Amino acid sequence: MNATVCKFCWGALRSLLLVLLLAASSPALAQSTPNKKEALQQRKAQLQDEIDLANSILKKTRSDKQLSLTQVRALEQKVRARESLIRTIDSEVRSIDGAIGQQKLAISQMDQEIQVLKEKYAGMLRAAQKRRTYKQQWAFVFSAESVSQALKRLYFLRQYARFRSTQVAAIKNLQQRKSEQIGVLAAQKDQKKVLLGQEVQQKQVLVQEKSVREKAVAQLSKQESKIAVDIKKKRGELQKLERQIQGLIADEMRKSREKAERGALLTEAAQVGLVAGTDFNDRTTLVQLRKLIAERRKTTNNPAPAGAASLATASSASFSLTPEAQLVSKNFEANRGRLPWPVERGIVLQGFGENPVAGTTGVTIKNPGIDIATGSGSEARAVFEGEVSTIIPIPGANRAVLVKHGQYFTVYSNLAAVYVKAGQKVTTKQALGKVAEDQDSGEAVLHFELWKDTYNQDPSYWILRK
């Protein structure tokens, strides 16, 4: 009898352990699903915000007024955002399908484990029937060959009774968990139904928006000659701005080299015994300071160490930075792909490099930065800490702010008002000025550029991707 009962007891215990393992693994299987769901929902919110902003830009166009090139670009961006939104919803549906599959598998496993537990429990009941009276149980105890064996049998009977109670609780607990999983499964199916409805609706809206876009492009194509003139003017403004920025950055590099060179010469002057304020002052030129150092070395028979070169000579061909500027430059570079947007809300109308012009055949415009449409009254903000290098007045393009971040520079152009001044330190996301609005259309577009030394970079690789 002892062997038979132990067999049932061990089988039931093994089943119970399997159930506990299943219960422990279920949260792990589902853990990745909420994270993915949150990411998809966040992406949906971002795309919907882009669509809403594009709508607000397009609403500025009266029904009796033709769409501008900027508004057609906003319409094209809205179509792209809508397509991305549909793809995101589809990804969310596939994610829910995967979660539903996991729930079904978990429920199926629970059904199997419940069945195993019930069968084992029935076996235990049958075994208990064979010794259903207290006399039989005591007979089992007293039939032991020794007192030690009798105590072990008594302990076994008590543990066996407790285990039966535990197994009943395990069956009930597993049934409760199964009921909860069925509820979750039903909720996921409902959510999938809602998402499929959203996808159908978004596809219908997309068809309408594509139709509007095609009509707008056809409308623009009738003005191709006028657009070509406007593009030529815009191209000239961008080239002029690019030349100005290159010149300003080259001037900053020259000043930085001179500052570094003066610092090195001041150190060298102190080493040879020249006294600031007595032997030279702030108005002493670099050429004069070098001459004074050479003369002092000659009179004191203190030649420069063999092979030593001044810091100025060694760095004349590069952008010399102070230790503080080097740190800013290093931190700026470390944040590639994570810089905040130069406006709080915006959609990119024109990317970096060559861009085709809607409504024309083969006409493109080279963009040295990116053009970001934003809401009325929006402000341009610094994408990183730095120092305002200069304020640039641009005929036909309002004003631009050039901010220095060590070896890097950022440009914020088409500002109606500027809140900062040259030499001012700025912090990340600090407001620099108000984005200008077109008097006719009411469009607010910020032109943003990013440079490393005198070479412009594609800003889309530096700012956070939506």
Residues 166, 41 within the same domain: yes
Among 3-17, 62-76, 143-157, name the one with the lowest average pLDDT.
3-17
Among 140-144, 290-294, 355-359, 459-463, name the one with the lowest average pLDDT.
140-144
Among 177-186, 216-225, 397-406, name the one with the lowest average pLDDT.
216-225
Instruction: Give me the domain span that covers residue 369.
Output: 330-461
- Which whole number is the average pLDDT over 373-377? 87
Residues 337, 202 within the same domain: no
3-state secondary structure the chain: CHHHHHHHHHHHHHHHHHHHHHHHHHHHHHHHHHHHHHHHHHHHHHHHHHHHHHHHHHCCCCCCCCCCHHHHHHHHHHHHHHHHHHHHHHHHHHHHHHHHHHHHHHHHHHHHHHHHHHHHHHHHHHHHHCCCCHHHHHHHHHCCCCHHHHHHHHHHHHHHHHHHHHHHHHHHHHHHHHHHHHHHHHHHHHHHHHHHHHHHHHHHHHHHHHHHHHHHHHHHHCCHHHHHHHHHHHHHHHHHHHHHHHHHHHHHHHHHHHHHHHHHHHHHHHHCCCCECCCECCCCCHHHHHHHHHHHHHHCCCCCCCCCCCHHHHHCCCCCCCHHHHHHHHHHHHCCCCECCCCCCCEEEECCEEEECCCCCCCEEEECCEEEEECCCCEEECCCCEEEEEEEECCCCCEEEEEEECCEEEEEEEEEEECCCCCCEECCCCEEEEECECCCCCCEEEEEEEEECCEEECHHHCECCC
CATH number assigned to the domain comprising residue 441: 2.70.70.10
What integer pLDDT is reported at residue 19 of this predicted model?
A: 46
Give the pLDDT band of residue 360 (cuts 50, 70, 90). low
Residues 217, 335 within the same domain: no
% pLDDT > 90, the chain: 18
Q: pLDDT tens digit string along 295-350?
A: 888 888 877 765 454 444 444 444 567 778 888 889 999 999 999 999 998 888 88
Q: Report if residue 250 sits inside a domain.
A: no
Residues 213, 345 within the same domain: no
Q: Report if residue 107 sits inside a domain.
A: yes
Q: Report if residue 170 sits inside a domain.
A: yes
Locus of tokens 């914020």: 412
What integer pLDDT is reported at residue 64 of this predicted model?
A: 41
Q: Report if residue 33 sits inside a domain.
A: yes
Query: Taken in order 75, 76, 77, 82, is the CA torsion positive or negative?
Result: positive
Q: Report if residue 251 sits inside a domain.
A: no
Number of domains in the chain: 2
> Of 202, 221, 240, which residue constitutes the final position of a domain?
221
Residues 214, 335 within the same domain: no
* Mean per-residue pLDDT of the chain: 76
Residues 217, 339 within the same domain: no
Q: What is the dihedral of CA 10, 15, 18, 20, to 10 degrees?
A: -100
Q: Report if residue 234 sits inside a domain.
A: no
> Of 221, 248, 279, which residue constitutes the final position of a domain?
221
Give the pLDDT band of residue 361 (cuts 50, 70, 90). low
> Of 221, 250, 283, which residue constitutes the final position of a domain?
221
Beta bridge partners of 336: none
CA pair distance 357, 9, nearest whole angstrom: 79
- Which whole number is the average pLDDT over 389-409? 87
Q: pLDDT tens digit string along 95-104?
A: 878 777 777 8
Q: Report if residue 231 sits inside a domain.
A: no
CATH number assigned to the domain comprising residue 177: 1.20.1270
Among 59-68, 175-184, 328-337, 438-447, name the one with the lowest average pLDDT.
59-68
Q: Report if residue 271 sits inside a domain.
A: no
Q: pLDDT tens digit string along 227-282?
A: 667 777 777 777 788 888 888 888 888 887 787 788 888 888 888 888 888 888 88
